[in-house]
Amino acid sequence: MKIAIVGSGYVGLVTGVCLAEIGHDVTCIDVDKTKINKLKKGLVPIYEPGLDVLLKKNIKNGRMSFSYSIKDGAKEATAIFIAVGTPSKKNGDADLTYVENVAREIAESMTDYKLVIEKSTVPAETGKKVAQTIRKYLPKKYRKGNKLTLDFDVASNPEFLREGSAVEDFMNPDRVVIGVESKKAEKLLREIYRPLKPKMVVTNINSAELIKHASNSFLATKISFINAISQICEQLGADVLKVAEGMGYDKRIGRQFLNAGIGYGGSCFPKDVDAFIRLSEKSGYKFQMLEEVRQINRDQINSFVKLIEDKMWIVKNKTIGLLGLAFKPDTDDMRNAPSIDIIHMLQKEGAKIKAYDPEGMPNTKAMTTGVTFSKDPYDLAKGCDCLLLVTEWAQFKDLDFEKIKKAMNHPVLFDGRNFYHDKKLDKLGFEYYGIGRPAA
Among 84, 220, 323, 346, binds ligand NAD (CB under 6 A): 84
Long-range contacts of 97-101 (CB under 8 A, 24+ apart): 98/7, 99/126, 99/130, 100/129, 100/133
Smallest gap from Cβ 134 to ligand NAD, in A, equals 15
DSSP 90: T
DSSP-assigned letters across all residues of 168-180? HHHHS-S-EEEE-
List the one residue out of 205, 203, 196, 130 whose CA is nearest residue 167.
196
End-to-end CA distance of the chain: 60
Choice between 120 and 297, CB closer to ligand NAD: 120
Residues 29/4, Cβ–Cβ less than 8 Å: yes
Region of 80-88, 203-211, 251-259, 288-296 interacting with ligand NAD (CB under 6 A) = 80-88
120 contacts ligand NAD (rule: CB under 6 A): yes
DSSP 46: S
Dihedral, 157, 163, 166, 172 alpha carbons, nearest 10: -70
Q: Does residue number 85 form part of the binding site for ligand NAD (CB under 6 A)?
A: yes
Nearer to ligand NAD, 176 or 388 (CB): 176
Residues annotated as catalytic (active site), given as ranges: 268
Q: Which residue is nearest to ligand NAD (CB)?
A: 9
Q: Does 297 bind ligand NAD (CB under 6 A)?
A: no
Q: Please give the distance of CA 355 from its chain centroid, rounded to a whole number.
A: 22
Contact call for residues 274 and 88 (beta carbons, < 8 A): yes
Write the burial class of residue 264 (CB in 10 Å: 0-12 exposed, 13-18 middle, 19+ buried): buried
Binding string, residues 3-42; x marks residues near ligand NAD by CB under 6 A: ---xxxxxxx----------------xxxx--x-------
Q: In the bound complex, what is the minimum distance in angstroms from residue 48's beta carbon to ligand NAD?
A: 10
Under 8 Å between Cβ of 39 and 45: yes
Half-sphere exposure of 434 (CA within 13 A, CB side): 25
Of all helices (H) and strands (E), which one includes residue 238? none
- 163 lies in the site for ligand NAD, by CB under 6 A: yes
The Cα–Cα gap between 203 and 180 comes to: 6
Residue from 51, 55, 96, 102 binding ligand NAD (CB under 6 A): 102
Which lies closer to ligand NAD via its Cβ, residue 268 or residue 371? 268
Binding mask 221-250 for ligand NAD (x = CB under 6 A): ------------------------------
Residues near 66 by Cβ (< 8 Å), separated by ≥ 6? 8, 27, 28, 29, 30, 36, 39, 40, 73
Q: Can you tell me which of 78, 101, 165, 347 binds ligand NAD, judged by CB under 6 A? A: 101
Tell me which of 159, 239, 359, 392 binds ligand NAD, using CB under 6 A.
159
Examine residue 363 and tell whether it contacts ligand NAD (CB under 6 A). Answer: no
Using rule CB under 6 A, residue 265 touches ligand NAD: no
Sole window of 158-166, 242-250, 338-346, 413-421 interacting with ligand NAD (rule: CB under 6 A): 158-166
Number of residues that bind ligand NAD (CB under 6 A): 26
**Interacting stretch for ligand NAD, rule CB under 6 A, among 94-102, 139-147, 148-156, 244-252?**
94-102
| Shortest reach from residue 307's CB to ligand NAD, in Å | 29
Residues that bind ligand NAD (CB under 6 A): 6-12, 29-32, 35, 83-86, 98, 101-102, 120-121, 159, 161, 163, 267-268
